[in-house]
Structure 1
Amino acid sequence: MPENNDNFDKYTPFFSASSSQLFLQKCYTQEKIAEAEIKSYDNCYPFIYHLEHAKTYYNQAAIAPLSIQPILTFYGFAQLLKACLLTIDPNYPESTSMLAHGVTTRKKKKQQYEFLKDEVKTQKNGLFTCIAEKLFHIKHLEGEKFSMGTLMKEIPDMQNFTWSISKKNFVALLPCSNGFQLPSTILDSYQMSSSRLEEFLKAKTNQIYSISEAPGTLHLKTEGVPIHNATSPIRYNLAEGQFMLSLNKDSSAFSLPELLIHYLISYNLSIIARYETEWWAELMKTMPNDDYPCIVQFLKISQAKVPFLIFEWIKSERFHN
């Protein structure tokens, strides 16, 4: 996995007012926004400042004590998301409601509290809602609840780490001619025939797939290639450099874009680190269960992966929506 301090090397071309202005003009023109050139000049410095702030937060998180890493990581994440929104909406934020986080956490219980069983709830307004609607065209997420364990199971990089939820959650998509290979055991995992799986994947990914069977193997043929920020159960494992298919077909987060998954977990961790000082300190000192290693692993993964995913979206995927 890339070292944390290297995550922003790809962003270097944006640290130029002229380059960022031309990039924003291209974005606004694609969005058919009036006066695209003028607005791109107005926003080139705010765009750079969001990226600069994000870089500072992430670099500090990489060297900070664990106790404050969640706070720095979440603030860096929020700055990157605001830069993304500025490429779509030159007037962002248009109202103070957009500045809210868009998520609530439930009151922590002092006894028998377990992070993996904790839940967050999405709200009508705020940054989470803006990202869901403007980046991923997802609406009607208000009031949805997600547990931390459910969300973590949808991050393929977490599969490299053994923890209490020991069930295998992903299967690798191995590149081959015109598509990918999958083990035929996927049909047992999904409890589907190959034709039913084909229809299921079409519905969940908005891509055309055809599946052919060979002994022990499925050939998944597709005209396009998976993208890193899709509303899809096909996710990218940065540690292994390959796409993987989630096996959790009944999960509430099965098709949730991975950036939204990281946001929900990161927000909850930042709240815990800020306001649940006693529980947070005791967790780091006593390490009583799987919460501690899961949180440590998640922070390591997220600090590398979020800047990667957002760069992929900014660089190319935003133009293919």
Structure 2
Amino acid sequence: MSKPYKDWNSYTLFFSAEYAQAYLKKCYRKINIEQPDMKSFENCYPFMYYLEHGKLYYEQAEKSPLAIQPILLFYGLVHLIKACILTVEPDYPETTSVLAHGVSTRKRKKQQYSFTEDEVKFQKNGLFSLMAEKMFHMKQLEGEKATMGDVMELIPELSGIYSDLRGKQNFEIVTAADSGFAMPKSIIDHFHMTENRFKEFFQTKFAAPVTFIDDSSVIKFQANLKGITEPLKYNLEEQHYVFPLKKSDLFLFPELLLHYLLLYNLGMIARYETEWWSELIKMMPNEDYPLIQSFLKSTLKKGPYLIYQYLMNK
């Protein structure tokens, strides 16, 4: 990313039809879309309105009580995602099927319900699968599931609360070293691999080329950390990269998809499970409350940051 991110102020350039059209034209030419001039002219206002609408939802969420925050944040993120999809799919929405959410939740158990044990199922059609395919080149997610606990463990800003609540380390910090980055060698113990096997594993999973530098004390590497950096994630609050220590099915999921899954489910709960949701907020009976509250606080800033990263690294 060429400029450091500064909240919504970073989006200012996009709120100009002239700039938005030139930006979209560049995106369309890059992926060989036919008639880039006409398509960018047609889409510059929808693109701006999606961003503007998303911004309004986030700004209202920041001023709103926790009880309705998930609903506002989910729809804010949905609008920002639609702007991103327009950069790669100029005819969006082509059919009504892509307007669905793309994920579903199981029927809730009223007794002993735990948010971290709840799960969402990925659908064939809808925004989630469209975003995964068009923005991140991920296919065939239909029928897969994710538990909210597994998703939350991959949100780097929640690493502190997990450590406090459960004494659990979910990430290893990646430090900036001279002409590269470094991780402690102890990381290989979490993956039960030799150092060479871990390096090979890292190279095959990382989206960009990785070069390792010989060092007896740490695992040192060089890589371009612009654009998609999975499996590395960026902790926006602490301002550093981290490496997840759990090799789950979601290990390579872009963080934008993880925020979408959590906000979708929390939004559904806030709308349709009013009794459980109200009791959680008022009674704070278990670990769900601090985890959810911490996530909502972080996604308020992280969602727009992730979208901006995507747009600027096109």
TM-score computed with the length of structure 2 as normaliser: 0.95
- How far apart are residue 164 of structure 1 and its match? 3.9
Alignment of 1:13-52 (within 5 A): 13-52=13-52
Q: Distance in 1 between matches of 2:207 and 2:228?
A: 13
Alignment of 1:212-251 (within 5 A): 212=213, 214-220=215-221, 222=222, 224-227=223-226, 229-230=228-229, 232-249=230-247, 251=248
Task: Describe the shift of the 1:81–1:116 C-alpha distance in structure 2 as closer, same or farther (beyond 3 A).
Answer: same
List runs of 5+ in structure 1 lacking aligned partners: 1-5
Match in the other structure for 1:3: none
Q: Distance in 2 between matches of 1:229 and 1:214?
A: 26
Deviations 1:230-254 (A, max 9, x none): 4x221111011111111102x1211
Contact 1:58 1:76 in 2 (8 A): yes
What secondary structure does 1:301 align onto? helix
Alignment of 1:1-321 (within 5 A): 7-162=7-162, 164-212=165-213, 214-220=215-221, 222=222, 224-227=223-226, 229-230=228-229, 232-249=230-247, 251-316=248-313, 318=314
Q: Distance in 2 between matches of 1:97 and 1:196?
A: 43
Output the amino acid matched with 2:78: A
Task: Describe the shift of the 1:213–1:187 C-alpha distance in structure 2 as closer, same or farther (beyond 3 A).
Answer: farther
Q: Distance in 1 between matches of 2:77 and 2:309?
A: 15
Q: Distance in 2 between matches of 1:244 and 1:199?
A: 18
- How far apart are residue 212 of structure 1 and its match? 4.9
Contact 2:208 2:224 in 1 (8 A): no
Q: Distance in 2 between matches of 1:214 and 1:71?
A: 48
Output the amino acid matched with 2:10: K
What secondary structure does 2:78 align onto? helix
* Percent identical: 48
Deviations 1:98-157 (A, max 9, x none): 000000001111110000110000000100001100110000111111011100101111
Output the amino acid matched with 2:237: A
Q: Distance in 2 between matches of 1:85 and 1:246?
A: 27
- Compute the RMSD of aligned alpha carbons: 1.4
- How far apart are residue 228 of structure 1 and its match? 5.2
- How far apart are residue 178 of structure 1 and its match? 3.2
Task: Describe the shift of the 1:113–1:142 C-alpha distance in structure 2 as closer, same or farther (beyond 3 A).
Answer: same
- How far apart are residue 209 of structure 1 and its match? 3.0
How many pairs does the alignment contain?
A: 308
Contact 1:229 1:309 in 2 (8 A): no
TM-score computed with the length of structure 1 as normaliser: 0.93
Contact 2:20 2:44 in 1 (8 A): yes
What secondary structure does 2:136 align onto? coil
What secondary structure does 2:143 align onto? coil
